[in-house]
A and B are shown apart, each in its own frame.
Chain A
C-alpha cells in the first residue's frame, strides 16, 4: 500500500499570499494517479487537481499542481478568503489512499 504524507500539518497564511502544500509518497507513483481535493467544514471534498497537474472543471487557475515520482505539490498562487480549508492528496488506482491532510488557516 502506498502511504501519502502531507506537510505541513497546518499552514497559517494571509489572503493574497502564496501557499505551497506538499505530498510525499512512500514509493514512486505514476503522476497520472495523483489528485488533490479541498474540503471545507461540513462539506464533501471537491476535486481540484487530477493527473498531478490538470485542473478539474471549474477550478480557478490560481490552483496548480506539480511533481513526479514521490514528491508532489499543490500551489495556490494568491489566497482568496474562500481557499482556507483542508487539502488532501490522493493516489488512485485499485486501492486508493489519501494523505492525512493539510489545514490551511487564516493568519
Chain B
C-alpha cells in the first residue's frame, strides 16, 4: 500500500525557514518524480515544486523560485522541501504527491499525503 506521510510543519515568523519532510513507502521511491502542492486556508490547490526520480531535475512555481528548494534522499525514501524567506502568503497545508507513471516528471498525481500545516505569522 502506498503511503506518504508529511511532517515538519509549524509556525514561523516572516523571513524564517522551515524544512518539510515526506516519508514514502509501498512503492519504488526512486522510480517516481515527486511533488509538493499547497492549499491556503479555504483556497484552491497550488503546485509548488517537482523533482525527478533521480533528483537531477527540479521545477518550481514562480511564487517560490529562489526561496524554496526541493530535494530527495532515495536511500531513505524521503522527499524534502526547504522553505526559506517565508512570507505570510506561504501559509498553507503542504501536500506531497506522487507522479502516477514511472520515470515521467510532469504527470498527474495519483497518491497524496495527508498534508502538514505551515503558518507564517508574527
Contact = CB atoms under 8 A, between A and B. Distances in A.
Given A88-B45, A101-B44, A96 B106 contact: yes
Contacts of A35: 108-109
B112 A45 contact: yes
Contacts of A39: 45
A7 interface: no
A98 B61 contact: no
Main secondary structure of the interface of A (DSSP, over half): loop
Interface in B72-107: 95, 100, 105-107
Interface residues of B, number: 21
Interface in A42-58: 43-47, 50, 56-57
Contacts of B59: 94-95
Interface in A86-104: 88, 90, 92-101
Contacts of A90: 45, 108-109
B1 interface: no
Contact of A92 (B46, B95, B108, B114): B108
Q: Residue among A47, A96, A99 with the most chain B CB within 10 A?
A: A96
Nearest to A95: B59
Interface in B26-59: 35, 37, 44-47, 50, 59
B106 A44 contact: no
A56 B59 CA distance: 25
Nearest to B112: A44
Given A44-B95, A101-B44, A93 B106 contact: yes
A97 B59 CA distance: 13
B62 to A, nearest CB: 8
A55 to B, nearest CB: 12
24 contacts: A33-B106, A35-B109, A39-B45, A44-B113, A44-B114, A44-B115, A45-B45, A47-B100, A47-B108, A47-B109, A47-B110, A50-B100, A56-B110, A57-B110, A88-B45, A92-B106, A92-B107, A92-B108, A93-B106, A94-B50, A95-B47, A95-B61, A98-B44, A101-B45
